[in-house]
Structure 1
Amino acid sequence: MERLPPRAPDTIAAVATAPGRGGIGVVRVSGSGLLGFAQALCGRQPQPRLAQFSRFVDGEGRPIDEGILLYFPAPASFTGEDVLELQGHGGPVVMQLLLERCLGLGARLAEPGEFTRRAFLNGKLDLAQAEGVADLIEASTAAAARSAVRSLSGRFSEEVHRIVDRLVDLRMLVEATLDFPEEEIEFLERARAMPRLEGIRGELEALLDRAGQGALLRSGLNVVLVGAPNVGKSSLLNQLAGEERAIVTDIAGTTRDALRETIQIEGIPLHVIDTAGLRDTADTVERLGIERTWREIERADVIVRLVDASVSATGDDELAGRLPGGVERITVVNKIDLVSAAAGREEQAGQVTVRVSARTGEGVDLLRAELLRVAGWHAHGEDVVLARERHLQALRMALGHVCAAGEQLAALELFAEELRLAQERLGEITGEFGADDLLGEIFSRFCIGK
């Protein structure tokens, strides 16, 4: 029977590459004392940070695969522990055999996100950087990927820490005044404390705005196209997508079900839903499609209501009245090519109307610009912070405490407490403050092997 190498009680292993077939597949192992692990697997002691061609063998010494062995000793590794990476041929059977061999040597299967969680717990990444890893993997646009890299490199965390440092400086002065009331500390005079507090407030508002832009970049918007049958919803979807995604015919009611496509406008993912035409019908299948249309409308961030420029608007006002309130709306007058009308945009009483031809594409750029405006997109390049909802919530709460502090300057104990709470909320972003169940929820959303 093969003798197992000595190891720490908690070595983890997982396939780090995506499922399926490819030229290369990677099995990652993290723990301590992995030199013996590598010796049993490859029959050699690996050299740190050196790519070594190796033969991976099973417990009987039979070859499983040939590939590259990489060894990163602690603490100079991704997880902060000893890390082995086995780069073999990327077939699912080969990867499974390599993984089973690692488990047979005493490792256990890693949980989703456990490698990154260990990196966080060992101080290799803060929580915002760890989430940047997942956001980079999941990025659906180039702009989102670039923003995720900035979070991974620590840009977001640096901005948060800078604001925290300013809060700490102000708190120190407050606490000193409370502890030594007989001393004169000029910075705590109302005229001096308030400008400091206003500066912190301004930085928080600016960061919250950029984080909101990043949340839009990360998640996008749900845009639902609604209107009567044959009004041109599918043609408009194809124009927005820049290619034919939906079937277009002259037959009313061609679209029987909601068709969801994700398109990009300036890097913003828009999840556009082409819905069944809204009308009274006896057709059972079409009626089911219309019911789904109304469900999509209820989940929409933006409703684009199409009307036909070439026919009477009968029924359009009734449809407009049935649409839910509190949702951004854009009215699109389509088929302007049939009535020789010009493309354009107009706004009356806060209601925007864009005139387009989904057949020729005329005016569609105006609609794209309007979608960005409605979404609130105004950031550019390096300004964007790819944020999650929890980041936005923490920033909003921190801002609320800073604003509350401004109303408590006469009561220094309350002033100091509001500053402390603001600091604590910001610490939740980077992981200085945070419950274990929150950490578990965050890392459980990662893929296995990361």
Structure 2
Amino acid sequence: MNLDSSPIAAIATAPGRGGIGVVRVSGQEIMPLLKALFPEVNLKPRHATYLPFLDADGSVIDQGLALYFKAPHSYTGQDVLELQGHGGPVVLQMLLARCLEAGKDIGLRLAEPGEFTQRAFLNDKLDLAQAEAVADLIEASTEAAVKSASQSLSGAFSKVIHQLVEQVVQLRMLVEATLDFPEEEIDFLEKSDARGQLTRIQLALRKVVEQAAQGAILRDGLNVVLAGQPNVGKSSLLNALAGDDIAIVTPIAGTTRDKVVETIHIEGVPLNMIDTAGIREAMGEDAIDVVERIGIQRTWAEVAKADVILHLMDASRGPTREDELIADRFPPEVPIIRVWNKIDISGHHPAIDVMEGSAHVYVSAHEHQGIDLLRNELLRIAGWQQTGESLYMARERHLHALQLASEHLEHAAYHAAQTDQALDLFAEELRLTQDSLNSITGAFSSDDLLGVIFSRFCIGK
């Protein structure tokens, strides 16, 4: 990706009113802008200077701090100017307009979304995984997500990826050296412990995959759909899990006509809870009004996209033919928790019974009994473990790259085990493994991918 070196400017703080607002400028050489804005002040690099921010006619827009960072010692690796004033939206817009006016001779323009961080990446101030962690840190909705994003931003995730790449490169060197000198007739796999090295790389990669997968859960959460017949307590269960009255609850069947979505957090893990319209599968369409029919159609649409399905049933009346018809339509690959609600009426005790392929949890949403059992089962299905180890705020592309690297290592192990020692194929799989890992940090990334990533940032970052 080619670096556009024209100077850029933007408001770097969030929209709305606040105590402090920041206007940021970055470019290869912005000294003419500094002289135009502050003709009588010589800003010292990396020192805060308190002064008035003047309009073109000499009137005062605001008073605040000006900070100048000389390249390459800045966030973007270019010259950077930050003007920190009061956080009123009109004040900041006036200050930004003044910067653009004063910088027109050097081609100063408004920054695109993510362009400051993009320049930091292109100038080797951050690698791609760290750059993505900037956006993840801003968007983090839980304390655990903040810690995970901070780990990635500090370079912890990138460090383990680089370590894996170094191990793969070492093994590649040995394999390709043997390919270059076949006349030595050295038993390569035995002498260099190639199989042992490969096994150690696979084990290290497996650990990174586990940590990244849990970090991905912190970032994206799980879509948990509550499904079942009308009046089995789906809305009550949503309220119990959320600890608040989110959904309307009445004894009238079919109260929920459309989905209700609420994100809750369990042990820092976001769960996108989706309460849906009750399903009356055995009844003909003529027996259901048009609004409820649309609600049921939308319920099945949500079920098709679910990561986890909570199939609610009434413990006071036991399983019914209707429950079986609903269960038969669930996607076979999606984890399902059978939730038996209303145990305060049925006389059951809070319990969980884990069977092959599903778990049965006995709860009372109304009395808040067994809710912790259900929360723990949701965490178990999510694969969440309190390991005490650092987690990395991985994205879908990171997980895909790690999975691809793992598959190439498996292919490499297969070729290494062949009696004819297919070293050329072994070497090629190691090369593909290296490419997959490098794509995470941006050492091997297409311009199209970079464009998509940075376009999703907020303006000012």
Q: Output the TM-score relative to the length of structure 2.
A: 0.92
1:283 Cα deviation from its structure 2 partner:
2.8
2:52 pairs, out of 46, 51, 55, with 55
Equivalent residue number for residue 323 of structure 1: 330
Aligned CA distance change for structure 1 residues 356 and 71 (closer, same or farther; 3 Å): same
1:191 Cα deviation from its structure 2 partner:
7.2
Equivalent residue number for residue 343 of structure 2: 336
Equivalent residue number for residue 14 of structure 2: 18
1:145 alignment partner, SS class: helix
Matched, 1:372 2:384: no
Contact 2:174 2:192 (8 Å CA) reproduced: no
Query: Quick one: distance in 1 between partners of 2:300 and 2:345?
Result: 29
1:233 Cα deviation from its structure 2 partner:
0.8
Equivalent residue number for residue 5 of structure 1: none
2:391 pairs, out of 379, 384, 388, with 384
Matched, 1:237 2:223: no
2:24 alignment partner, SS class: strand
Equivalent residue number for residue 289 of structure 2: 283
Equivalent residue number for residue 103 of structure 1: 100
2:363 pairs, out of 356, 363, 378, with 356
Equivalent residue number for residue 3 of structure 1: none
Residue type at the aligned position of 1:295: A
1:66 alignment partner, SS class: strand
**Structure 1 unaligned spans of 5+:** 1-7
Query: Quick one: distance in 2 between partners of 1:236 and 1:253?
Result: 15
Contact 1:186 1:192 (8 Å CA) reproduced: no
Aligned CA distance change for structure 1 residues 428 and 57 (closer, same or farther; 3 Å): same
Matched, 1:37 2:33: yes
Counting only pairs closer than 5 Å after superposition, residues 54-203 of structure 1 correspond to structure 2 as 54-104=51-101, 105-106=103-104, 107-183=108-184, 188-189=189-190, 192-203=193-204
1:83 Cα deviation from its structure 2 partner:
0.6
1:407 alignment partner, SS class: helix
Contact 1:35 1:46 (8 Å CA) reproduced: no
Query: Quick one: distance in 1 between partners of 2:389 and 2:459?
Result: 30
Query: Quick one: distance in 1 between partners of 2:191 and 2:203?
Result: 18
2:141 alignment partner, SS class: coil
Aligned CA distance change for structure 1 residues 178 and 322 (closer, same or farther; 3 Å): closer
Residue type at the aligned position of 2:70: P
Equivalent residue number for residue 266 of structure 2: 265
Considering only aligned residues, what root-mean-square deviation do their CA atoms show, in Å? Answer: 1.8
Query: Quick one: distance in 2 between partners of 1:358 and 1:110?
Result: 50
Query: Quick one: distance in 1 between partners of 2:153 and 2:330?
Result: 41
Residue type at the aligned position of 1:303: I
1:294 alignment partner, SS class: helix
Query: Quick one: distance in 2 between partners of 1:368 and 1:38?
Result: 56
Query: Quick one: distance in 1 between partners of 2:435 and 2:183?
Result: 29
1:426 pairs, out of 424, 437, 448, with 437
Equivalent residue number for residue 4 of structure 1: none
Tell me which moved more, 286-295 or 257-266: 286-295
1:379 Cα deviation from its structure 2 partner:
4.7
Query: Quick one: distance in 2 between partners of 1:9 and 1:346?
Result: 62
2:46 alignment partner, SS class: coil
Aligned CA distance change for structure 1 residues 11 and 227 (closer, same or farther; 3 Å): same
Query: Quick one: distance in 1 between partners of 2:190 and 2:16?
Result: 66
Contact 1:213 1:377 (8 Å CA) reproduced: yes
Tell me which moved more, 219-228 or 288-297: 288-297
Contact 1:147 1:382 (8 Å CA) reproduced: no
Contact 1:27 1:86 (8 Å CA) reproduced: yes
Matched, 1:28 2:24: yes
Aligned CA distance change for structure 1 residues 412 and 322 (closer, same or farther; 3 Å): closer
Residue type at the aligned position of 1:372: L
Aligned CA distance change for structure 1 residues 331 and 446 (closer, same or farther; 3 Å): same
1:312 Cα deviation from its structure 2 partner:
5.0
1:346 alignment partner, SS class: strand
**For 1:88-128, what per-residue CA distance to the aligned partner results, in whole angstroms no more than 9, with x for missing partners?**
11111111111112222221111111111110111101111
Contact 1:143 1:381 (8 Å CA) reproduced: no
Query: Quick one: distance in 2 between partners of 1:238 and 1:282?
Result: 26
Contact 2:178 2:188 (8 Å CA) reproduced: no
Matched, 1:438 2:445: no
Equivalent residue number for residue 415 of structure 1: 426
1:88 alignment partner, SS class: strand
Matched, 1:292 2:298: yes
Contact 2:151 2:390 (8 Å CA) reproduced: no
Query: Quick one: distance in 1 between partners of 2:177 and 2:96?
Result: 58
1:436 Cα deviation from its structure 2 partner:
1.1
Query: Quick one: distance in 1 between partners of 2:124 and 2:5?
Result: 21
Query: Quick one: distance in 2 between partners of 1:138 and 1:234?
Result: 28
**For 1:168-194, what per-residue CA distance to the aligned partner results, in whole angstroms no more than 9, with x for missing partners?**
111112222223334476764367111
Query: Quick one: distance in 2 between partners of 1:40 and 1:170?
Result: 57
Residue type at the aligned position of 1:308: D
1:189 alignment partner, SS class: helix
Percent identical pairs in the alignment equals 60
Residue type at the aligned position of 2:223: N
**For 1:10-29, what per-residue CA distance to the aligned partner results, in whole angstroms no more than 9, with x for missing partners?**
00011111111111111110
**Structure 2 unaligned spans of 5+:** none
Tell me which moved more, 297-306 or 247-256: 247-256
1:380 Cα deviation from its structure 2 partner:
2.9
Aligned CA distance change for structure 1 residues 343 and 423 (closer, same or farther; 3 Å): same
Q: How many residues align?
A: 443
Query: Quick one: distance in 1 between partners of 2:233 and 2:120?
Result: 51
